Structure formats: C-alpha cells, structure tokens
Chain A
Amino acid sequence: MRVMKKSNAKKGTIKRILSYIKPYKKQIIGAMLTAILYVVLNLTTPVLIGQAIDKAVGKGNVDFQAMLNIIGLIMLTVIGSAFFQWLMSLFTNTVSYMTVRDMRRDIFAKFNDVPLKYIDGHPHGDLISRVINDIDAVGDGLLQGVTQLFSGVVMIIGTLVFMLSIDFRIAIVVVVISPLSIFVATMITRLSHKMFIEQSKTQGEVSSYVEEIVGNQKMVKTFGYEERSIEGFEEINERLRVCGQKSQFYSSLANPSTRFVNGIVTAAVTIVGSINAINGIISVGQISCFLTYANQYTKPFNEVTGVIPQLQSALAGASRVFEVLDEDNQTPDSANSVEMSRCKGAIDIENVCFSYSPERKLIEDFNLKVKPGQRIAIVGPTGCGKTTLINLLMRFYEINSGKILIDGVDTQNITRNSLRGLYGMVLQESWLYNATIAENIAYGKPDATSAEIREAAKKSYIDGYIRRLPDGYDTIITEDGMNLSQGQRQLMCIARVMLCDPPMLILDEATSSIDTRTEIRVQQAFNAMMKGRTSFIVAHRLSTIKEADIILVMKDGHIIEQGNHEELLAKGGFYNTLYNSQFARSEGA
C-alpha cells in the first residue's frame, strides 16, 4: 500500500473532500446563509425575552400591551430561527449524502478501471469495507461537521463583534486565550489521527475475515475449524477494540480539554474584570454582561470540538477511499486505437514475454500463428500457464514485451472493450449475479428477446431445468447461487456466451463440472457455433483435444510441443506421455 507523508496526506485529504463538496456549492452557500440567519435570530431571542421581562417591573406595574408586542416579536424570531435551522439541516443533509453518493460512485467505478491485478491482489472484504464503512464515516463527519462548523463560526464572529463594542481590552484577553483551546484541540487530533487510520484499517480486516470465513462456511464446518476461526476473529477483533478505544478516548479528550481552557478564560475574565472594576475602570454590570458574552463566545468552540471524533474518523475513512482512487488505472486505450467489432480470427502471437512478478518468469518468448477458424487446444500440467495465456489474449493482464495481433492489428491498438467483445469466454469458475436467470443469460446482450434467451438455454441444455423452477426464467439468483450445482451454473454461463454469438471463443475448462452426457450435447452446440471461428480451449477431455487443429503443449510457461494429435503422438514426446497416462489411469485404479 502507498505510503504518504502523514501531515501532507491529511491536508490533501481535507482538500479532496472539499473538492467533492464543490459541486454542491449552492447548498453550501444556502447552508451558510441560513446558518447566519439562524444564529442572528437565535441570539436576539434571549435579548427580546429579557426586554419582555423588563415590562413586569412589580406589583401593579406591568405593561401588558408592550409585553404582548414583544412576545409577538419573540414568536417571530423563534419561528424564524427554527425555520432557518431546519433549512440549514436540509442543506447540509443534501451536501453530505450527495458527497457520499459521489464518492461511492467514484470508488466503484475505480474498481472497473484498475488493472485486474489490483483486484486479484487485495482482500475483497477490505475493499467492500472501504465502500461501505469508510465512506459512511465520511458522511457522518460531514453531516455533523458542516452543521456545527457553520453555526459555530458564525456564532464566534457574532459574539466577538458584540464584545468588541463593549470593551476591547477584555475582548483582547478572550481573543488571546481562546486560540489556546484551538491549539489544544489540534494537538489532540494529531495524537489520535494515527489511531483512527489504524481503526479503519482493522475494520477492513474484520470485513475480510468475515467475508472469507462466512463465505466458506462449508469448509469451516468440514474441518471443525470453528474454534480456530473464532480465535482468529477474536484476535483481529481485540486489535480493533484496542485501537478503537484509543482513538475514541483520545479524540474525545478534545471536548473536555477545550472546555477546561474556556473555564480558564472565564476565570481570567472574572479576575481581570474584577480588578478593573475595583480600580473603577468598568462597572459591575459590564462585567456580568461581558461574562455572558464570553460564555456565549466559548460555547461554539465546545460544540466544534464535540464533533472532532466524527471528523477524524471521516478523515481516516476518506484517506482509505482516496488510497484506492489513487491507484494507477490500467493504461488507457491509446488515442489511435480502433474499435474492432468483427474479425476473421487470425491471431499472431510474436515473442511474447510475461510474468506476474518480476522474480518469477512465466511465459517467455512465446510464438504462435493461428489461422482464422482454427481450433487451438491448450494442454499441459496444471500451473503451466494455460489460464495466463487467456489473461493475455483478453488483455486482463498486459504483456511485458512482444506483440499479439488479431487480423494483423496489434491488440494494443484495439480498444479493450471491443477486443474483449471479439471473444466469448467461459471460465471454469462460473460467475452469476443477483438478478433473474434471464438477466444472467442475457448479460452480454441485454436487448435479447426472451425467445433468444430460451434458445441459448436450450442449446446449453439448461432450459429444461430452468422451466421446472417455480419462477422459471424469472427466478432470482441469490448471491451464493442458490442451490444450483456447479454444473448448472456452468451451463448458464455457457448459455450466456451462446447468446452473444462472438467471432472467437475462449473456453477455459468450461465444461469441467458438467456431466459427460450433457457435455457431449453442449459440445455439439459449441462445435456448431465454432465452425469457422477461432477458438481456444483449455480442456483435459481427450475427445475435445483430439479434434483440435493445433494442440499447444505447455510446460512451465513454454510451448514445448505444437501440432495436431497425430503429429504429436508420432513425435513421442511429452504429449505422448500425457496421452498414454490417460490409459494408465484406467488401469491404475
């Protein structure tokens, strides 16, 4: 993870949060204006009440008419201030929730812009926690912070003005000492900032752990791992408790500390004021009035420091969000790259080198020429780089050097989306999402008619099963794929590709979980579809491999043999051994 200079990072984070607020300038201005009106009215109410009370001087000496007039005025200011306070809340509400929404939008979009490597390499639970919890913290911070900050600042300025108009000397005492409370608050915030970062990081760990353990409960149960998983969880949870407690405690120090500082201010004012009064410089009434305002003046400081914990966890959350946003995007499609919506299917792989990490070379100097319509089977021991090859063809990962050309066009010069559209891909691990079966099948072709969807399902031999479900094609797939078997999931993914009818195909163990009777039929459908189309097939079923035009035998990232079935058998090399082990298998068991 990226390390940034701490203080700079914090400033940067605030700045970036502000840039998120910017589009809601109108609401911010609205919030500020209403805050001013609210504070002004709110400050006049007590004054008016005082005047009303002044009308009741003593027995038989109450001016009811005048009192009534003032009461009318009071009601106006009260209702006015309540109204503006309400408006202010509405504005800040909108600003915070819209900001939250925008941030979520950006971080989610980012997940589709970063290189796949980032997603493969980061615990998903942690990333989810950033989207949900960290951004939620930002929202909370904004909501509390913006409201309190605005009214607080207005209140401070307002009272300052009042005070200056009474006596500037004592005002100076207040103004000089007050920043002390700001200073104390800043010190404390700085202290606890690290803890907050730690807290949201650990929160991410909790999410990751839950995601992993709860997501794979079957394994946990099978191996009686419950106790140990609980131990593991309690360990993370304990760390979360420690840093959570520290961050909460440290940041909650800010409020009592500033109140203490303000207490000192009050004491100082009292002492200085009294001594001045004894010396006859100001009157007692002025002191009392002054104290009221000093009190009024320090209160907003208290309110502002009261929301410091929320502000801090907002900052910590935001910095984790920005960390994701700062990840490098995959290199964008170059300006001169073309959209390729169809192709003949000639593929040239020239001197391609690739490795996931520099220290472990995987594919080196790989060359292959595929004529349009050829069927390429990739065989080899597991881990030899078959799936990697597919990652490169689809440009999920970028090659380190060399070239891959489609119909003579360098794939670097084809937009990624159109390149990927040229292939229909079925992977061993079938991915379905939370939507109806029909929507899942139509994933690559959202405008497909229901007849087309059924046709694709029929070709994939899953139509019968789907129709027997109570809701048929409208059955919603729940997150864990309901009780669909692996095979049924795979068939749906196959239907998805069948529906798209792409010019080229990539099948990575696409039928590994399907029973052979169904597989043969699906295979026939594939064969019909693949006719005249280039296809890459990773498989271990002999029948599939035998029929291929080119068999690539891979080992440790290298193509060690290349040719058709007969040629390779005749060669008596690695393929020959592999092929014969197929029979050894039957004899061995």
Chain B
Amino acid sequence: MFKLRRFLKNYKLPLIFGPLCKLIEAIFELIVPLVMADIIDTGIKNQDYAYVWQRGGLMILLGALGLSFALVCQKSASIVSQGFGTQVRNAMFKHINKLSHQELDKIGTPSLITRMTNDINQLQAAVAMLIRLVIRAPFLIIGALIMAMTIDLRLSIIFLIASPILALVLYIVMSRSVPFFKQIQSKLDKLSLITRENLSGNRVIRAFSKQESEKKRFNEKSDDLAKTAITVGRLSALLNPLTTVLINIAIVAIVWFGGGFVDKGELSQGEIIALVNYMTQILLAMIVVANLVVVFTKAFASAHRVNEVFETEPSVVEGTKTESDNKSNNEIEFNDVSFAYGKGKYALENISFKVEKGETIGIIGGTGSGKSTLINLIPRFYDPQKGDVIIDGMSAKEYTFSALRSKIGVAPQQAILFSGTIRSNLLWGNKDATDEDIEWALKVSQSYEFVSKLSDGIEHEVLAGGKNFSGGQKQRLTIARAIISRPEILILDDSASALDFATDAALRKALATETNGMTTIIVSQRVGTVRYSDKILVLDDGKLVGIGKHDELIKNCEVYKEICLSQLSAEEVK
C-alpha cells in the first residue's frame, strides 16, 4: 500500500489541508459545548437575554465555520482520492502496454479489468477515508489521553493498558481478514472471466444449449464468492462489538478504582465523570478507527493486487537505437533461433534463414508447426531464448519498439478491428494517413468496393472486435490497416483465409503491383498463395525442413511435396 504513495505526490496541498480542516472542524465541535455551558452558567444566572442571544449566535457562527472547513476537507478528499485513482489507473494502463504477451497471458484480461476498476476503487475509498478521518480519530484519542493524564496519572494507567489491547484486537482481526479479501478479489476475477467467456462465446453456448450449465457454473462461483464475503464479514463484524466491550471494561475499571480514590479523598466525583467522558470519547473514535480498519484491510488486499501488476517486469526490454548502424541488404535474418512458450518444449528450434530486401517470402506448414510463432518474433512480441533475430543488419533487440515496429505492417490471423470508424481503424496503421492513402489501402486490400457501398463510407461505425463486419471484410480491412503506412516489411499471417477465390486472387495481384519494394512475408495454408514467392520456408513441428523456390522444394522437400499434393492435382504441382 505504501508503495503506491508516489501517486499522491501531486496532491500534497489538499493532502495536508484536508485533514487540517477536519481537525479545525473537530476543534470547533469541542468549543461548542463550552459556549453552551457559558450560556447556561452566565446567561441564565444573570437573567441576561441579550447574552443568551449573543452566545447563541456565536454557536451558529461556529457551526457555519465548521461547515465551511468540513467542505474544504471533503473537497480535498474528493480531489485527492479521485486524482489518486486516476493516476494509478493511467500508470497501470501504461505499464500494461509495456508488458509482453508472456506476462499478460499470466494475469489475464478479466483480472486486469477488475484490478483496473474494482481494486482501484477500493484504494480510492481508502484514500478518501484517510483524509477525512485518519487525522481526526487519533487526534481525539491522543487528546483524550492527555486530558486524562492531567486529571489523574494513576488512573490513566488504565488508558495505557487498554490501548495496546485494542491495537492487538484490531491487528488480529485485520491480519486474519486480509487473506480473505484477497480471495474475494480473485473470486471476482473468476466471475469476470466467466462473464467474458459467455459474452464472447454466446453463439456456441446457445448452439449447444448450454445456457443452463453456464448459469450453474457462474452461480457456483457466485455462491462461493458470497460465502467468502459472509465469512470475512463475520470476522469484521467482531471489530465494533469487541472495541465497545473493551472500552466499557476500562470505564468500569475507572469507576471502580476511581471510587477507591474518592473514598480516600484523593479524587472528586466530577473528576471521575470527566475521566469516563474522555473514555467515551475514545470509544467513539475507536469505532471510527475500527471502520477504517475494515476499509484499509480491503484496500491492502487490493493494493497488493495492483502492485502485482506494477511489479511485473516486461520480459522484452526495449532497445535504444532508432536506426540500424550496420545497414544490410538482408531485411530479416534469423540466426539459429529457438523459442519456447513458458517452460514447455521448443515451439521453434534452430531456425536460420535470410530474407533480402524486397523479396516475397512464403511460409507454409501444418497446424501448430510454428508459423505464427516465427512471425511473432519479428516485431518482438516475444524474444527467442536462443539465437538472434536481425532486422536490417542490427539485432531486433537494439531498436526502440517504435523504430522496429514502424518498419513492420502485420495483418494477423485473427482479424481484429477496434470500436470506432473504418477511418479510425485505418489510422491505427498510420495516424497521418491522408484520404488518398486510405483510398489506396482500401483499393489494394479489395475493401474499396464494399466500403464505398456503405452510406457513410469510411466513417462507418465499427463495433468492438469488428462484430458488424463479416470475417472476409474484417480480414481485408486488417490488410488495409497493415499496408497504409507502406511499411518496409509486410507480414500477412494467413490473413486471407476467409476470402473467396476471386477476392483472394485480386488481392494478391494488387499487392504484387502496388507494394513494390516491400519485403513481404506471407503465411498461408494454401500452396497457391505462396508458390510464386521468391523463397518458401517449410515448417514442420517447429523445425525448418525446407527453404527454396517451389520447383526446388517439390523435388527435395518431402513435407512440402505432401502439402502440395494434398491441395493441387498432380499436373498443377508441376
């Protein structure tokens, strides 16, 4: 929790003023009874109406002043806590953007969403409480202690004994409940996960008529959450009663021992009353503290989860160079690259090849042979465990991310569009693209026709994920997005799989003529798509089993031959 205090540093002023105003308000609150006593003692005794009215007016004035100080405090609390939350969210979002897939997969999107909203909300609540109450309660407690000591030092020992016991009770309850609160948050994650799955997979769920069992799955988790919440609630519910009992025992002790002192004539009855009053004041403050403890316990659990994200270091570290210091004719080189996801077996093993600038490379291979993995290493979504990926003569690791990735345009296997408009989606590829650029990209990607049919053209709305477009339309738009910046390297990761023949053919024709000079990497299942590439890489189970032109491979690469025969007739192969 304290690690997060750096997010408060912009709010020093309200952070000091808030509690200060609260303190002043508290002091005013303490003055009011004195004025009241004054009215009764002086006003009534002297039968002085004017005095009564005058002092009464003072009471109202004090109230009004108290109100304005309280307002300043509340204002500060709202500014600091909401500002704090906003900063933590921004920082977390930035940090998430730095993480590589290896880390993101581990935490998971639903959990990140809960952390970003629910957990930070808990922290915000704690900060607001901090400002409103944290100064006030101890102030009242310490004030009461000091006052008690001035009255009778011996009896104040009771206060000194009671305080650590109270602290102990608070500590025990708090430390017991922190693990539960952590559990609650991770159970919330689970609910968020199931909800997300049900929203994204709703077609499949309905197709299999699994609505009931999905409800059951959700309800089980929801019941489980309720159970944990009730368990921890039972624990927190102890705080208030326990504090009350403890303080009242102390009060009884004061009365009893105080009675003894009164008997000996060492203490007056009025002094006992005063001591009891101070103890009551402490009780009230302690109840506030107990409530604070609950809020802070929750916040601790949440802070832990938020920090977990901040402490996750990106495994892929950014380089510093914006340009290669060793420019080469080879756009891409793989030097003995091996890569594994996590601790599993290598998904790619000892891969070496070179791609010259302007070449078109085809990558073909079976399902799970490592095609997409290989592609993922070029923009450094992952770093290889062994070997090096060299882009334009320099290791990919030495480039800044933006330098490296701006060289590359990718149309991914899973066609994803973002909520916005067609234009805003294309601007992802190049935020300075002109209308001509957009038109060009749409034409090359064969999207122009269907886009121009839309009543609002490129301003047409795109829903999250591109749900309002068909698979083929999405793929073409993702290709448009990839080429709009006219990147040095264009990667098409099986990105025309949903296109029909005619569109696919037209697309490749346009790409061939319009993207001159681009180094193009085409991943595909279809021989027809890669067969005229300058080089074809054949992958099989993570290994590079063939490299060369179609005619060469058909002769000396068994895997390639097999793939070809599965798709083309014997004479087409030749």
Contact = CB atoms under 8 A, between A and B. Distances in A.
A49 B255 contact: yes
18 contacts: A82-B241, A85-B244, A112-B215, A113-B211, A211-B464, A221-B381, A221-B401, A223-B481, A234-B90, A244-B124, A245-B82, A256-B74, A274-B52, A356-B468, A431-B204, A486-B414, A516-B527, A582-B505
A285 to B, nearest CB: 10
B265 A127 contact: no
A520 B215 contact: no
B509 A431 contact: no
B303 to A, nearest CB: 17
A116 B234 contact: no
B116 to A, nearest CB: 5
A566 B480 CA distance: 36
Interface string B34-49: 0010011001100101
A577 B505 CA distance: 12
Contacts of B138: none
Contact of A116 (B93, B97, B202, B344): B202
A444 B379 CA distance: 39
Q: Name, among B63, B118, B208, the residue most crowded by chain A CB atoms within 10 Å (CB to CB).
A: B208
- Interface size class on chain A is 35 or more
Contacts of B262: 56-59, 62
A253 B74 contact: yes
A517 B366 contact: yes
A583 B178 CA distance: 67
A233 B128 contact: no
B275 to A, nearest CB: 10
A465 B327 CA distance: 41
Contact of B85 (A108, A244, A252, A263): A244
Contacts of A425: 203-204, 207
Interface in A206-256: 206-208, 210-226, 228-230, 233-234, 237-238, 240-241, 244-246, 248-249, 252-253, 255-256
Interface string B78-119: 110111011001100110111101001100111011101110
B16 interface: no
B379 A78 contact: no
Interface stretch (B1-9, B163-171, B349-357, B405-413): B405-413
A518 B268 CA distance: 97
B36 A513 contact: no
A392 interface: no
B117 A132 contact: yes
A248 B81 contact: yes
A517 B566 contact: yes
Interface stretch (A9-17, A173-181, A379-387, A526-534): A379-387
Main DSSP-derived SS at the A contact region: helix
A133 interface: yes
A270 B56 contact: yes
B365 A515 contact: yes
A168 interface: no
Contacts of B443: none
Q: Which 5 residue pairs spanning A and B have beta carbons closest together?
A: A382-B472, A487-B367, A263-B63, A59-B265, A89-B237
A514 interface: yes
Contact of B379 (A222, A479, A516): A222
A493 B201 CA distance: 12
A520 B366 CA distance: 12
B480 to A, nearest CB: 12
A71 B256 contact: yes
B314 to A, nearest CB: 11
A217 B418 CA distance: 12
B258 A383 contact: no
B162 interface: no
A312 B225 CA distance: 24
A383 B25 CA distance: 68
Contact of A515 (B237, B240, B369, B512): B369
A263 B60 contact: yes
A119 B98 CA distance: 31
B60 A483 contact: no
Interface string B332-356: 0000000001101001000000000
B142 interface: no
- Interface size class on chain B is 35 or more
Interface stretch (B64-72, B152-160, B383-391): B64-72
Nearest to A100: B226
B79 to A, nearest CB: 6
Interface in A93-127: 93-94, 97-98, 100-101, 104-105, 108-109, 111-113, 116, 119-121, 123-125, 127
B113 A210 contact: yes
Interface string B470-483: 11110110000100
Interface string A36-55: 00000000011001001111
A491 B368 CA distance: 11
Q: Name, among A68, A225, A485, the residue most crowded by chain B CB atoms within 10 Å (CB to CB).
A: A485
A479 B111 CA distance: 11
B147 interface: no
A411 interface: no
Contact of B117 (A49, A83, A207, A284): A207
A586 B471 contact: no
A268 B59 CA distance: 9
A214 B197 contact: no
A112 B214 contact: yes
A112 B207 contact: no
Interface in B125-153: 128, 132
Contacts of A380: 500
Contacts of B186: none
Contact of B60 (A54, A105, A225, A264): A264
B564 to A, nearest CB: 9
B395 interface: no
Interface string B182-203: 0000001001111111111111
Contacts of B471: 382, 387, 428-429, 509
A45 B276 CA distance: 12
Contact of B56 (A98, A131, A271, A383): A271
A483 B196 contact: no
B392 interface: no
Q: Name, among A82, A223, A433, the residue most crowded by chain B CB atoms within 10 Å (CB to CB).
A: A223
Contacts of B238: 86
A497 to B, nearest CB: 9
Contacts of A270: 36, 39-40, 52, 56, 59
Contacts of A101: 222-223, 225-226
Given A270-B36, A396-B203, A478 B108 contact: yes
Interface stretch (A344-352, A399-407, A415-423): A415-423
A266 interface: yes
A263 B344 contact: no
B64 A260 contact: yes
Given A218-B101, A222-B379, A512-B498, 12 more contacts: A71-B252, A86-B238, A100-B226, A101-B222, A207-B116, A230-B90, A252-B74, A259-B67, A275-B52, A416-B209, A479-B108, A479-B109
Interface in A484-520: 484-488, 491, 493, 500, 509, 512-520
Q: Name, among A382, A513, A585, the residue most crowded by chain B CB atoms within 10 Å (CB to CB).
A: A382
Nearest to B403: A224
B206 A105 contact: no
A237 B89 contact: yes
A380 B501 CA distance: 9
Given A105-B219, A214-B109, A586-B572, A132 B502 contact: no
B218 A67 contact: no
Given A249-B74, A485-B367, A214 B104 contact: yes
Given A217-B104, A240-B86, A382 B470 contact: yes
A19 B218 CA distance: 22
Nearest to B81: A248
A116 B108 contact: no
